[in-house]
């Protein structure tokens, strides 16, 4: 078997709009296409022995053991690999259960699709599943456990931490979208101007001064002391001389820790003699030049969490430890403790496995113990000097036991330091008494405190401490999203997108939009190029100035990695015509429609899908949608348009020369088409269709018809405003039209427009696109022969696997099939072809360049026009 391609889908996609995170693997079964599982001797027994837990895979049988039944009867290896990929992720602690396997139009080649929780793990699982299947086929050994451990390691390297993850989960539960900014824990909640950011538990509302204060233990201690808050006595040291002075002042036992440390790194506790103090100083200085030395306070270690100046949780923390049984060694007891199902690798479970490190050895040495020592029965041996959960510590929830005085104290501390998310470390016998009575004190105040001990304590009530963070960032009434209109279809996407952006901008919004020529924010081009995929959509949604997004959404990006947004308010399908067929397993119009439908299937339930009432594929799609549906039609008397109007649906139509919205029998005439510059005086019928779609979307968004009308009249088509979309350059003796038409439907639109143009000679400059079907290239050439008197064939770009000669040959066949006598010549380079046409243009001629690289064509023609204008001025 051979893997042709593996890709990660990250948004709504052709397989599912709900399950956004999917791996899609294109798998060539090669000779295994001839060997379903029932023809492989012993396969059922081997896979069941390797994965006994697969008994829970119900598969299409819908019952326990269903997948094994399928194997018994015979199923193909792509299906088996799908189930293996899901199972090994589950065994690695990432339970996920959605999968699909479908054969492509090419026999023996399958798309194997399965869900993932961590992308890098999913990609690894795809390759691992194929390797495991090959071992099962051959009956050879395979170390599955090694792959499972590797997946755990990948997950720990790339996953969000438990604190960050909990905030994201709470946001998702409240339908707040999120974007991970990079590979660390920096996360954006919400879109555009309504976004909020946080990293770990530091939010965009966190004061940087407060963080600096909390990170400076000396400054924190001084401020708390001045506010009459109990703190441990001590001082700052940089060398042994300072250490001597502090110890003389406060006496033993002491605690030594880095001044700028966190998570307990570099700390030594309960130090009782000079040699250990010197060693602790050196250890702490590895993490910070200045070291804080404090009196060691006996009692228990408590962490209190305050969010938005309100106490939300408190936990008693205990360092990693074992309890002797008088029989086993310390190492054996550690191993036994790590067998607890609550403990796992990294952050995968409630508790973390206990690892032996320098801190462990030092603590044992102080007791004159080694890992081979057998502790007495009932003896507690501490293995870490700090109670962090990440080093194997445990926590007990004590939120409901806190004395009101201590609650007041902790909430006051958060205000004194100025932290919105504040972790207060307390050493005391208990929190049920005021600290001033039991002698407890504040050890530290932490910016970015961990949530894990509160989310999943080893004992006591779990606390949803992420909820108050979201309450703080998004109080009631504050939106997290911005309006999104997504535009897809075969032709007209870019023009419709640009017109919509113009209407939105005129209605007072700061608009961001993506097109096939670039990313724009408030009409400023931010990035140049074909930007119609999910990365470009995300670019707009990450921009903090954008109040409204209009996103051109093309086929390629959807197939490559899904949509770049979780859902949209309005989705438009302009039309579905034959284009890009034969690519990426899209062979028919039905296949293409399934891709385009992804956009409208992702519309929110009370949003609107805007569909072409004259397009059969659009009408099919409408039947499967759960949102509102509105239609547009160039013909008021179109049977479907009339039917929808009778049913009370909203329909935009072109009637009696007007752009009109119909609600039942009521008509709202928005503007006369001849007053809309984009329609070329009403001659460019396909442009009128684009105007109808944009007008309908604007109306459904809630914009007033007067404002829409004004925007339609002020949107002037030009090389700057709509590059490559019916750009006309008027020379003194002839005209040049540049258009991006590159498929039969686009050519027909230009043909219809040219039929209304009077010219002494119509000259066309055309080319083929190498990755299109033979019949598409020939049909474009046939249409060109119908609308032009003379054709210049050029072919230097977009060969995509073909030779120039092959494409030109297909164009020549298409011209011949037209049955019309038309002169032609071949000038392979686009620049030379355009220059030749202009240099030899006759009076009254009309040159049309159908260019797949519009920028080059526009620059050349504009340069000629500028020279002519300069000449007339002179």
Per-residue buried b or exposed e for 158-176, using 16+ beta carbons within 10 Å of the residue's own CB: ebbbbbbbbbbebbeeeeb
pLDDT, position 393: 87
Which one, of 367, 385, 262, 381, lies nearest residue 329 by Cα? 381
Alpha-carbon gap, residue 729 to 132, rounded angstroms: 63
Q: CA separation (Å) from 520 to 48, 94, 515, 530? A: 55, 39, 8, 12
% of the chain surpassing 90 pLDDT: 70
* Predicted pLDDT of residue 863: 87
pLDDT in tens, 550-603: 999 999 999 999 999 999 999 999 999 887 777 778 889 999 999 999 999 999
pLDDT digits (tens, 9 = 90+) for 643-700: 999 999 999 999 999 999 998 889 999 999 999 999 988 989 999 999 999 999 999 9
User: Average pLDDT, stretch 494-512?
Assistant: 96
What per-residue confidence (pLDDT) applies to 395? 92
- C-alpha torsion angle, residues 52, 56, 61, 66 (rounded to 10): 10
Q: Please tell me the distance from the alpha carbon of residue 683 to that of residue 414, in angstroms, as a whole number.
A: 68
Q: Which of 75, 74, 78 is nearest to 27 (CA)?
A: 78
DSSP secondary structure letters along 620-657: HHHTT--SEEEEEES-TT-HHHHHHHHTT-EEEEEETT
**pLDDT tens, residue by residue, 695-735:** 999 999 999 999 999 999 999 988 778 887 888 898 999 99
Mean pLDDT of 488-494: 93
For the segment 452-467, the average pLDDT, to the nearest whole number, is 94
169 — alpha (psi -120 to 50), left (phi > 0) or beta? alpha
- Look at residue 724 in the predicted model and tell me its pLDDT: 77
Q: Looking at residues 95-118, what average pLDDT do you find? A: 94
pLDDT of residue 872: 64
| Res. 874 pLDDT band, cuts 50 70 90 | low
pTM (2 d.p.): 0.84
Task: Identify the pLDDT of residue 643.
Answer: 94
Token pair in block for residue 103? 């054969």
- pLDDT at res. 873: 61
Cis peptide before 253 (omega within 30 of 0): yes
- Residue 869 pLDDT greater than 90, yes or no: no
Strands (DSSP E) found in 676-734: 727-730
Give the pLDDT confidence score for residue 504 in this predicted structure: 98
Q: Which residue has the tokens 């042709």?
A: 4
- Note the pLDDT of residue 348: 66
Q: Tell me the three state secondary structure of residue 301.
A: strand
Predicted confidence (pLDDT) per residue in 393-414, tens digit: 889 999 999 999 999 999 999 9
**Residues pairing with 669 in the sheet:** 660
Average pLDDT, the chain: 92
Q: Per the structure block, which two tokens stand in for 521?
A: 């924010």
Region 316-339: mean pLDDT is 92
Longest Cα pair distance anywhere in the chain, in angstroms? 108
Report pLDDT for 584. Answer: 78
Cα 95 to Cα 832: distance, rounded to the nearest angstrom: 60
Residue 12 has pLDDT above 80, yes or no: yes
Q: Strand, helix or coil at 725? A: coil
Provide the pLDDT for residue 108.
94
Contact 546, 582 (CB under 8 A): no
Q: What span, in angstroms and rounded, lies between the C-alpha atoms of 348 and 343?
A: 8
Q: What confidence tier does 853 reach under pLDDT thresholds 50, 70, 90?
A: low
pLDDT digits (tens, 9 = 90+) for 297-311: 888 999 999 999 999
Residue 676 near residue 712 (C-beta atoms within 8 A):
yes
pLDDT, residue 831, reads 85
How many Å separate Cα 39 from the centre of its chain? 42
| Highest mean predicted confidence (pLDDT) among 58-62, 207-211, 806-810 | 207-211
pLDDT grade, residue 515 (50/70/90)?
very high
pLDDT at 432 (0 to 100): 96
């Amino acid at each position: 078997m051979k893997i042709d391609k593996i890709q990660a889908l990250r948004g709504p996609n052709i397989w599912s709009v709900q399950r956004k995170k999917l791996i899609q693997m294109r798998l060539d079964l090669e000779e295994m296409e001839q060997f379903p599982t029932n023809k492989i001797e012993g396969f059922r027994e081997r896979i069941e022995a390797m994965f006994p837990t697969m008994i829970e895979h119900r598969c299409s049988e819908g019952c326990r053991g269903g997948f094994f039944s399928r194997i018994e009867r015979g199923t193909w290896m792509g299906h088996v690999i799908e189930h293996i990929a899901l199972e090994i992720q589950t065994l690695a602690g990432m339970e996920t259960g959605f999968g699909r396997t479908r054969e492509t139009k090419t026999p023996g080649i399958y798309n194997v699709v399965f869900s993932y929780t961590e992308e890098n793990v999913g990609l690894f699982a795809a390759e691992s599943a194929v390797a495991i299947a090959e071992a099962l086929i051959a009956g050879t050994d395979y170390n599955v456990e090694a792959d499972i451990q590797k997946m755990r390691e990948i997950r720990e390297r790339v996953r969000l931490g438990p604190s960050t993850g909990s905030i994201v989960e709470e946001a998702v539960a409240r339908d707040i979208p999120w974007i991970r900014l990079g590979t660390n824990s920096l996360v954006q909640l919400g879109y555009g101007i309504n976004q909020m950011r946080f990293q770990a538990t530091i939010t965009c509302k966190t004061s940087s001064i407060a963080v600096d204060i909390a990170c400076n233990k000396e400054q924190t201690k001084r401020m708390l002391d001045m506010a009459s808050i109990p703190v441990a006595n001590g001082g700052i040291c940089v060398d042994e001389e300072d250490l001597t002075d502090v110890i003389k002042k406060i006496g033993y036992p002491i605690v030594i820790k880095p001044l700028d440390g966190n998570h307990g790194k570099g700390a030594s506790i309960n130090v009782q003699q000079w040699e250990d103090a010197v060693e602790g100083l050196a250890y702490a200085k590895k993490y910070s030049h200045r070291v804080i030395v404090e009196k060691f306070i006996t009692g228990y270690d408590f962490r209190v969490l305050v969010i938005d100046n309100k106490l939300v949780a408190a936990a008693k923390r205990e360092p990693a430890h074992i309890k002797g049984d008088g029989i086993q060694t310390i190492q054996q007891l550690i191993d036994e403790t790590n067998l607890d199902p609550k403990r796992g690798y990294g952050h995968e479970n409630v508790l973390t496995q206990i690892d032996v490190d320098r801190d462990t050895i030092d603590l044992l040495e102080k007791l004159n113990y080694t890992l081979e020592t057998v502790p007495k029965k009932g003896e507690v041996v501490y293995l870490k000097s700090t109670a962090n959960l990440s080093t194997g510590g445990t926590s007990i929830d004590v939120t409901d036991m806190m004395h009101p005085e201590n609650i007041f104290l902790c909430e006051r501390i958060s205000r004194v330091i100025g932290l919105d998310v504040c972790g207060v470390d307390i050493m005391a016998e208990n929190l049920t008494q005021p600290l001033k009575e039991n002698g407890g004190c504040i050890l530290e105040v932490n910016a970015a405190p961990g949530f894990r001990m509160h989310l999943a304590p080893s004992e006591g009530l779990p606390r949803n401490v992420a909820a108050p963070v979201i309450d703080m960032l998004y109080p009631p009434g504050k939106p997290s999203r911005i309006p999104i209109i997504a535009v897809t279809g075969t032709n007209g996407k870019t023009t419709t997108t640009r017109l919509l952006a113009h209407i939105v901008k005129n209605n007072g919004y700061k608009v961001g939009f993506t097109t096939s020529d670039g990313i724009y924010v408030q009409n400023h081009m931010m990035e140049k190029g074909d930007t119609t995929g999910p990365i470009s959509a995300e670019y707009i949604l990450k921009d903090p100035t954008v109040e409204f997004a209009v996103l051109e959404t093309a086929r390629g990006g959807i197939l490559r990695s899904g949509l770049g947004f979780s859902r949209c308010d309005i989705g438009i399908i302009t039309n579905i015509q034959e284009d890009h067929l034969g690519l990426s397993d899209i062979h028919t119009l039905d296949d293409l429609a399934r891709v385009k439908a992804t956009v409208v299937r992702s519309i929110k339930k009370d949003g609107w899908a805007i569909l072409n009432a004259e397009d059969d594929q659009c009408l099919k799609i409408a039947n499967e949608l759960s949102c509102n549906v509105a239609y547009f039609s160039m013909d008021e008397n179109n049977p479907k348009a009339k039917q929808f109007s009778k049913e009370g649906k909203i329909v935009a139509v072109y009637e009696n020369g007007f752009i009109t919205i119909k609600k039942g029998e009521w008509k709202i005439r928005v503007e006369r088409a001849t007053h809309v510059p984009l329609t070329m005086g009403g001659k460019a019928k396909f442009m009128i269709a684009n105007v109808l779609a944009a007008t309908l979307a604007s109306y459904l968004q809630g914009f007033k018809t007067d404002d829409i009308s004004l925007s339609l009249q002020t949107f002037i088509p030009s090389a700057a405003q709509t590059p490559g979309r019916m750009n006309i350059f008027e020379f003194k003796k002839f005209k040049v039209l540049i258009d991006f038409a590159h498929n039969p439907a686009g050519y027909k639109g230009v043909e219809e427009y040219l039929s209304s143009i009077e010219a002494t000679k119509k000259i066309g400059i055309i080319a083929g696109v190498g990755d299109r079907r033979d019949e598409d290239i020939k049909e474009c050439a046939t249409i060109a022969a119908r609308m032009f008197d003379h054709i210049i064939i050029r072919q230097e770009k977009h060969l995509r696997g073909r030779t120039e000669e092959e494409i030109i040959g297909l164009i020549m066949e298409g011209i011949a099939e037209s049955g019309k006598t038309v002169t032609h010549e071949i000038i392979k380079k686009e620049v030379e072809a355009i220059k030749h046409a202009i240099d030899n243009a006759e009076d009254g001629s009309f040159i049309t360049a159908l260019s797949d690289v519009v920028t080059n064509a526009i620059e050349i023609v504009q340069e000629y026009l500028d020279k002519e204008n300069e000449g007339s001025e002179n």
